[in-house]
Amino acid sequence: MKHRCILTRYHRTSFDIALFGAASVGKTSLVRRSFTGEFEMEYTPTVEDYFSHEIHQNNYVNVLNATDCAGSFQFPAMRELTIRRVRGIVLVFSLDSEFTFQELYRILDEIISIRGENGIPIVLVGNKKDLHMREVRGEQIAELISRYRSETFPLRYVETSAKDNFNVDEVFNQLLVLMMPQAPPKTRKFKIGGLKKAKEKCNVM
């Protein structure tokens, strides 16, 4: 009798990403909502926090290691280190606050000055869509995108509500798509379940 083993191989790739944006725009709420399914109405300012999440697609496992940064500009050295280290950035403003949108210019200028010609993929997020109190016009967003989007700084835009769980996973999926072409460094193949699991998958012919 012939035994033919079908081993399920998974390609596992890790991506370090970071969330930036003004205070209280919903960075923590977005990453929590997408990674754990939870949402808190109560506001607790972040100093720096870390979240990890696996996205499974066929035989691929993409691990997102997210650094959730402080909204205030109190920690420039920490921020610079994070911008140098990560492979993708989620940049959040609140659709009901013109001030939080204007802050993006400052953050984008900083990202560009630090990353230089190496560039980095960015997903721009207009959050709190559920509030229906829009202070930021579509033309303003289009203007910012056309000013900063380039081959080295690919940029996509998503409108979300962390509260209503609207479009939240889309943010991280879009960032993955932008990061994919430069994937390899941390890619490795592995077999789930070790020998026992592999034996269970043997087809007897």
Ligand X SMILES: Nc1nc2c(ncn2[C@@H]2O[C@H](COP(=O)(O)OP(=O)(O)OP(=O)(O)O)[C@@H](O)[C@H]2O)c(=O)[nH]1
Residues that bind Mg ion (CB under 5 A): 27-28, 46
Question: Residue 161 touches which of Mg ion, ligand X, none (CB < 5 to 8 A by kind)?
Answer: ligand X
Q: Closest approach of Cβ 18 to Mg ion, in Å?
A: 12
User: At 134, is the secondary structure helix, strand, or coil?
Assistant: coil
Q: Kindly identify the residues of this chain, within the stretch 129-158, that bind ligand X according to CB under 6 A.
A: 130-131
Q: Closest approach of Cβ 111 to ligand X, in Å?
A: 17
- Which sign does the torsion angle of CA 125, 48, 185, 7 carry? negative
Count of residues engaged in binding ligand X, rule: CB under 6 A = 22
Name the one range near ligand X by CB under 6 A: 17-25, 74-82, 112-120, 188-196.
17-25
Under rule CB under 6 A, residue 24 binds ligand X: yes
Distance CA 169, CA 172 (A): 6
Under rule CB under 6 A, residue 100 binds ligand X: no
Please give the C-alpha separations between residue 43 and each of 36, 39, 70, 112, 203, in angstroms, as whole numbers: 17, 11, 13, 30, 54
Choice from 15, 62, 64, 71 touching ligand X (CB under 6 A): 71
Distance CA 160, CA 158 (A): 6
Under rule CB under 6 A, residue 28 binds ligand X: yes
Burial 185-197 (b: 16+ CB within 10 A, else e): eeeeeeeeeeeee
Residue 153 in contact with residue 120, Cβ under 8 Å? yes
Q: Closest approach of Cβ 153 to ligand X, in Å?
A: 22
Distance CA 179, CA 15 (A): 8
Under the rule (CB under 6 A), what is the footprint of ligand X?
21, 23-29, 40-41, 43, 45-46, 70-71, 127-128, 130-131, 161-163
